[in-house]
Amino acid sequence: MSLPTTPVSLPESLPERDHTVVWHPFTQMQTAPLPIPIVRGDGSVLHAADGTTYLDMISSWWVNLHGHAHPAIARRLAEQAHTLEHVIFAGFTHQPAVELAERLLTILPDKQAKVFYSDNGSTAVEVALKMAFQYWYNRNQPRRKVIALTDAYHGDTFGAMAVGGRSAFSAPFAPFLFDVDYLPTPVAGQEEETLALARQLFTSDVAAFIVEPLVQGSGGMIMYEPALLDELFRLAREQGILLIADEVMTGFGRTGKLFASHYLTEKADLMCLSKGLTGGTMALGVTTCTQAIYDAFLSDDRMKTLFHGHSFTANPLACSVALASMDLLLADETQQAIQRISANHSRFAETIAGHPRVSSIRQRGTLLAFDLNVGEQTSYFNHIRDHAYQFLLDRGVLMRPLGNVLYLMPPYCTTDEQLAYVHEQIMALLNSL
């Protein structure tokens, strides 16, 4: 006699459970492979559940500055969580928000005078646009036009999408986006064209000119020179146009200076920050503006108020973590690491310069990018992207090519040995193409 066997259903794995209930960002859920479960982070290394490790060469979507699970940041977060996790930010304030605003204003370009908190890069851009439009509205000189650069990326909410370069990503929403005029990005060879069109488009009915200074991230790590942006800013200013510097990606040392704006003589009126703001630990956005913009909202008339806010505005946990990250960022050790990584990138750039599969090598500080030259047009949907992503992932390197653009954006704690390993894998990829 044998006992009846009960059918045993194997417990589902975490990726399978994920697939049942989660919808991932920028992911075609029908064809995407199951996501990789990460159980721990340590410096530039991500540890997967099966013991595999990955070198995080894109700083986990451009947010991480000092490495994963940094003890100093974790400590500040825990302390703050035991003290005050959150409080309404209308009618109330708290130490971390005030101190962070004070300290941000000391490291930002001089003209920035006030700090407005929100939750992420897209909201930081939304707030900047609303400040710009309402600035003109409050002064009874309504201006409606916005100028942006082609291939710009400013986020995924509607206002941010509207000022981004129009692409396949925004196509379903095109009818709902407000009109924006675009200038070609002033890359080498295109400068005169951009300046000529700027002279036409910058008129006295333009409210704002928004740019990612010096490096257009999502557009494909497109880089251009400070002198050109200074010239564009001067032309815009002649017409009183408000200048918005979206430093969501370029801020906090990525370009070799604390902000890309520090390469410029002309300074923006509004700045957008997020991503590296908290060292990549918590979601937080900041929009800063000049005194003149702030003053345009001061009135006995309540209708001149900036009616904008989010439930988690100036979340104390996020602000504390941003302060901890700023301590680390300003430390000599980190500033030296930024210079070390920049120099390391320059050497690697020389090494690959002659490779037949490499073109358009470009660098600004800790950002290094080049095109994979496989005789196809640059496009996100280019299959070379999937091949390169998988090839490097299989070798323990997390990079996420933008179409055929391969780039490195390592956390500042990444060692030369780790970079050398990454370089070997990139060489192997290049030689396999």
Ligand X SMILES: *Cc1c(COP(=O)(O)O)cnc(C)c1O
CB of 274 to ligand X, least distance (A): 5
Selected binder of ligand X within 54, 116, 136, 153 (CB under 6 A)? 153
Q: Which is nearer to ligand X, 126 or 231 (CB)?
A: 126
CB of 160 to ligand X, least distance (A): 6
CB of 141 to ligand X, least distance (A): 28
DSSP 10: P
Closest CA to 182 of 222, 228, 151: 151
Selected binder of ligand X within 66, 76, 154, 345 (CB under 6 A)? 154
Q: Which is nearer to ligand X, 211 or 358 (CB)?
A: 211
Q: How far apart are the first and last CA of the chain?
A: 63
CB of 332 to ligand X, least distance (A): 28
* 8 A C-beta contact, residue 433 and residue 357: yes
Rounded to whole angstroms, the Cα distance separating 40 from 201 reads: 50
Nearest position to ligand X, beta carbon:
121
* 8 A C-beta contact, residue 284 and residue 315: yes
Q: Which is nearer to ligand X, 15 or 309 (CB)?
A: 309
Residue 285, beta-bridge partner list: 118
Q: Which is nearer to ligand X, 101 or 125 (CB)?
A: 125
Q: Which is nearer to ligand X, 45 or 128 (CB)?
A: 128
- Judge whether 394 is annotated as a binding position: no
425 binds ligand X (CB under 6 A): no
- The runs of H, that is alpha helices, within 58-120 are 59-62, 71-83, 95-107
Q: Which is nearer to ligand X, 124 or 358 (CB)?
A: 124
Q: Which of residues 215-274 bind ligand X (CB under 6 A)?
A: 217-218, 246, 248-249, 274
CB of 272 to ligand X, least distance (A): 7
3-state secondary structure 229-291: HHHHHHHHHHCCCEEEEECCCCCCCCCCCCCHHHHCCCCCCEEEECHHHHCCCCCCEEEEEEH
- Judge whether 61 is annotated as a binding position: yes
125 binds ligand X (CB under 6 A): yes
Which single residue is written with the structure tokens 């962070």? Answer: 100
Q: Which is nearer to ligand X, 122 or 290 (CB)?
A: 122
- Judge whether 311 is annotated as a binding position: yes
276 binds ligand X (CB under 6 A): no
The helix/strand/coil state of 198 is helix
Three-point CA angle 280, 283, 286, nearest 5°:
100
Selected binder of ligand X within 41, 121, 276, 279 (CB under 6 A)? 121
CB of 228 to ligand X, least distance (A): 18
- Judge whether 383 is annotated as a binding position: no
* 8 A C-beta contact, residue 118 and residue 310: yes
Rounded to whole angstroms, the Cα distance separating 221 from 10 reads: 45
- Judge whether 309 is annotated as a binding position: yes
Rounded to whole angstroms, the Cα distance separating 138 from 135 reads: 5
Q: Which amino acid is at 184?
A: P
- Judge whether 269 is annotated as a binding position: no
CB of 215 to ligand X, least distance (A): 9
Q: Which is nearer to ligand X, 120 or 287 (CB)?
A: 120
366 binds ligand X (CB under 6 A): no
CB of 59 to ligand X, least distance (A): 12
Closest CA to 246 of 165, 324, 189: 165
Selected binder of ligand X within 155, 165, 186, 279 (CB under 6 A)? 155
Count of residues in contact with ligand X, rule CB under 6 A:
14
Overall size of the chain counted in residues: 433
- Contact stretch for ligand X (CB under 6 A) within 149-157, 222-230, 305-313, 382-390: 149-157
CB of 119 to ligand X, least distance (A): 8
Rounded to whole angstroms, the Cα distance separating 213 from 304 reads: 30
- Max CA separation in the chain (angstroms): 95
> Can you list the positions of beta strands (E) in 194-239?
206-211, 215-216, 222-223
120 binds ligand X (CB under 6 A): yes
Q: Which of residues 191-220 bind ligand X (CB under 6 A)?
A: 212, 217-218
Q: Which amino acid is at 118?
A: S
Rounded to whole angstroms, the Cα distance separating 65 from 362 reads: 21
Burial zone of 189 (CB within 10 Å; 0-12 exposed, 13-18 middle, 19+ buried): exposed
- Judge whether 403 is annotated as a binding position: no
Binding residues for substrate: 61, 153, 275, 309, 400
Binding residues for pyridoxal 5'-phosphate: 121-122, 246, 310-311
- Binding footprint of ligand X on the chain (CB under 6 A): 120-122, 125, 153-155, 212, 217-218, 246, 248-249, 274
Binding residues: 61, 121-122, 153, 246, 275, 309-311, 400
